[in-house]
Amino acid sequence: MTEVSVAKEDRAANGELVVLKSVNKHFGALHVLQDIDLTIARGEVVVVIGPSGSGKSTLCRTINRLETIDSGSITIDGKPLPAEGKALARLRADVGMVFQSFNLFAHKTVLENVMLGQIKVRKVDKAKAEEKARKLLDRVGVASQADKYPAQLSGGQQQRVAIARALAMDPKVMLFDEPTSALDPEMINEVLEVMQQLARDGMTMIVVTHEMGFARSAANRVVFMADGRIVEEAVPDQFFSNPRSDRAKDFLSKILHH
């Protein structure tokens, strides 16, 4: 066995699931992701925070290839992201994504929203897909809404359906991009509680959020971004009580004392 293959096995044994190496991305002249190195272990919950425009959403979008990168590499479970076709559809299923806007199919019922991907991408038969969808809707607390259309639900309920829909694909990792930012305050906690439970169940999660309570209680690690770079990473306690960079200190003073 060569040294190279031994090194690869060591990494797999460590349980690295998502690995970004020297990732760069431009939008025209704007260098939106600058030499990003980030490794997420299996079962790890990483909260990404940082000022608006720092590249957090773009980072999420590159991980399921909603955006391409200019240089560097991204692997999931040791495999580079596929560029197109069925392999790309499977990747999008492996990487569940929940956005700020709920992105449900408006003309499908809640139940159909959670069944569709299972049938189309995972080739699950209809009865099995329905059984699983009902279980997941129950798990996120909206089982009684199954036959309604998204517009008939509250924002918090719709976001929980969006989480159930992503989970129905048995994703390897879940990405959340400010999942509670568009919600009325009284609905934020019901969504955060579902995410907390998911974290406790061992799901690998990358969560962009300004909910510092969630970061403190659920995150294994906080990644602070500014101007397209990862400026600082630390365990939550250390990050919140003793941020090292001026950028992080400045950011925290703004969000914690407004």
Q: Please say which residue, 55 or 156, places its beta carbon nearer to ligand ADP.
A: 55
Asked if 32 is part of the footprint of ligand ADP (rule: CB under 6 A), the reply reads yes
Q: For ligand ADP, which stretch binds (CB under 6 A), given 26-34, 117-125, 144-152, 239-247? A: 26-34
Q: Please say which residue, 68 or 242, places its beta carbon nearer to ligand ADP.
A: 68
Tell me which of ligand ADP, Mg ion, none is bound by residue 105, counting a contact when its beta carbon lies within the kind-specific cut-off of 5 to 8 angstroms: none
Q: For ligand ADP, which stretch binds (CB under 6 A), given 53-61, 92-100, 161-169, 231-239? A: 53-61
The minimum distance between CB 202 and ligand ADP, in angstroms, equals 27
Q: Which of 58, 118, 157, 209 binds ligand ADP (CB under 6 A)?
A: 58
Look at the block and give the residue holding tokens 């294994």. Answer: 220
The minimum distance between CB 52 and ligand ADP, in angstroms, equals 4
Look at the block and give the residue holding tokens 């096995």. Answer: 9
Distance CA 107, CA 124 (A): 22
On the CB side of 85, CA atoms within 13 Å amount to 3
The minimum distance between CB 56 and Mg ion, in angstroms, equals 5
The minimum distance between CB 57 and ligand ADP, in angstroms, equals 3
The minimum distance between CB 251 and Mg ion, in angstroms, equals 14
Q: Which residues lie below 8 Å from residue 138, measured CB to CB, with a gap of 6+? A: none
Binding site for ligand ADP (CB under 6 A): 27, 30, 32, 50, 52-58
